Amino acid sequence: MKIKATFAALAFTATGAMAADDVTLQLKWVTQAQFAGYYVALEKGFYGEEDLNVTIKPGGPDIAPTQVLAGGGADVTVEWMPAALAAREKGLPMVNIAQPFKSSGMMLTCRKDAGVETTEDFPGKTLGVWFFGNEFPFLSWMSQLEIPTDGSDSGVEVLKQGFNVDPILNGQAACVSTMTYNEYWQIIDAGLTPEELTVFKYEDNGVATLEDGLYVLEENLADPAFEDKMVRFVRASMKGWKYAEENPDEAAEIVLEFDETGAQTEKHQKRMMGEIAKLTAGSNGALVEADYERTVASLLAGGSDPVITAAPEGAWTHAITDKALN
């Protein structure tokens, strides 16, 4: 097991050793294959090759990446775009500098025996929803379906879901929030079969929003030294991601080495990495503007309660990926 997710890289020059530049990355969640590309880049020395000393800070249920970034606890953070754009509108100038994930893994997973086969069955049901910024895509979707989230007869009861799937197992909720690569499989492992479940992928319902992008504070991009560090960081990170895509089992094993909690299992991480590879496939790291526009449109389509009230300006840049990937 790796004691700390750091890699002290020294760049040796003709005149001797030169200290590497420090970069701190804040993850959106705990150490798992969702972040394999970064751990692979660390373990394989890709960051070291770019003269970077990278520290990876795991997230958790009580850690909001936007707040860590705002407080100076990280140089760059992994975040979902809805939370980043909402934070930007509230005054925290987060900027997307790279987008390793092309597709969304978010789903609502429901029990058929709870009477859910289509979205028309939602009214009157209790739906489990993650908060801490993760609720934005769900609220946008319900708004577009014109289903109130106030618990009324014509609406749905929103259950503040913990980061587990207990509510669907114990009958508290008809549906729960799941990711293709994580919580869905927890439901299967608990004994329910795919045939007993109805799955609504956000991608298929036209409300998918960009997930797991890399974000920094806008003011830092004005510093040429910081920009240069991010160019090198993104280049090494994408090298890590493509290696992970091509070597999923090895990538999962690397993630397990960095799991200080010992909570992750080899079976779950290898399965997760296989699903994650489907989401990163097709991305070279650069944000696709059409995907950004789709995300913004989804977040603005909130009726009387949109996630954001106006289209953001300056919320993303190709300045880093143009230099890192070309």
Domains of the chain and any CATH numbers: 10-102+210-325 (3.40.190.10), 106-201 (3.40.190.10)
| Mean per-residue pLDDT, 312-325 | 97
Question: Which of 46, 54, 52 is closest to 19 using CA atoms?
Answer: 52
Say yes or no to pLDDT of 157 above 50: yes
Strand pairing of 52-57 and 21-26?
A: parallel
Q: Band of the pLDDT at 52, cuts 50, 70, 90?
A: very high
Give the pLDDT confidence score for residue 12 in this predicted structure. Answer: 40
Q: How far apart are CA 204 and CA 131, in angstroms?
A: 22
Q: How far is CA 225 from CA 20, 23, 79, 153, 220, in A?
A: 13, 12, 23, 56, 9
Give just the sign of the alpha carbon dihedral 127, 66, 182, 200.
positive
Q: Band of the pLDDT at 2, cuts 50, 70, 90?
A: low
Q: Which of 75-84, 132-141, 293-302 has the lowest mean pLDDT?
A: 132-141
Three-state SS annotation for 145-173: CCCCCCCCCCCCEEEECCCCCHHHHCCCC
In contact, 175 and 94? CB cutoff 8 Å? no
Instruction: For 190-231, write each residue's pLDDT tens digit.
Output: 999 999 999 999 989 888 899 999 999 999 999 999 999 999
| Mean per-residue pLDDT, 140-148 | 90
Instruction: For 15-41, write each residue's pLDDT tens digit.
Output: 335 689 999 999 999 999 999 999 999
Instruction: For 80-107, write each residue's pLDDT tens digit.
Output: 998 899 999 999 999 999 999 999 999 9
